[in-house]
Amino acid sequence: MAKWHKVVAEDGFKTTYCFFHRRKQFAIFRLEDGIYATDNSCSHEYSPLCEGMIVEGDVYCPKHGSRFDIRTGAVKDFPATRPVKTYETKVEDGFVWIKA
């Protein structure tokens, strides 16, 4: 069952943040319309998405350039063919939380 985890102070990062919980890695993204979370690993071949370039709500994998919609996890460009998982987030008492 998914639980809420405190990640980082809301003002503790500008655009991306890598969050580690147990053996799982998450990429936290700040966009103009909110804060979003995805798996940190590209679905094509391991590469940390929190190190990728963000353009208009999409993150580009730094290894091979796959592009994912940060809000939905959908693949928007090859070589990836599978989406990345997204996670619910909230901001409460000045902290970002992720449900995972």
pLDDT, one tens digit per residue, over 46-55 is: 899 999 999 9
Q: Which domain holds residue 43?
A: 4-99
- Give the chain's domain count: 1
| Distance (Å) of CA 16 to CA 4, 6, 26, 53, 94 | 19, 16, 10, 10, 17
| Distance (Å) of CA 96 to CA 18, 30, 77 | 12, 10, 29
pTM: 0.93
CATH code: domain of residue 52: 2.102.10.10
- The mean pLDDT of 22-43, rounded to a whole number, is 96
- AA letter at 76: K
pLDDT at 1: 81
pLDDT over 70, % of the chain:
100
